Amino acid sequence: MVADPRIAGALAAVNAIDRAAVADDHAAFAALLADDLAVNNPQNGVSVRGATARRSAAGQISYARYDRVIEYAGLRGDMVVLMGEEIVIPRSDGATPTRAVHRRFTDFWEWTKGGWKLTVRQATIITRP
């Protein structure tokens, strides 16, 4: 059980955005992105909200499975910071086999009048033996 309701709220939001990525629910995914979102993405580029939402709508953020291991959850001012590892299986087009992708991530979630929003994200693909 998480003692701080802000951390619990951000954890619920991260679960919702992960479910949206697996369900290809692009509207739900975009609804959890802050207007001023900045992402250092796994493709080694920087994306803002519009580009991230477009990548989702184009099927580039689409997973058959999304597992997240939270190793740290804490407060930084009004934001909740989540850190850990993600193991994702990109959705396959049927012709191309997909393999699990391991990433290290850091997410900053901020409470807004519309709920918890992903404000800053860093994700880096790593190699696992």
Look at residue 93 and tell me whether its pLDDT is greater than 80: no
Q: Look at 2 and 127; give whichever has higher pLDDT.
A: 127
Residue % of the chain over a pLDDT of 70: 96
| pLDDT at site 97 | 67
CATH number of the domain residue 91 falls in: 3.10.450.50
Average pLDDT over residues 53-69: 87
Tally of structural domains, the chain: 1
pLDDT digits (tens, 9 = 90+) for 30-59: 999 999 999 999 888 999 998 888 888 887
**Whole domain around residue 110: which residue ranges?**
5-126
CA 44 to chain centre: 15
Enter the pTM of the model: 0.90
Three-state secondary structure along 70-122?
EEEEEEECCEEEEEEEEEEEECCCCCCCCCCEEEEEEEEEEEECCEEEEEEEE
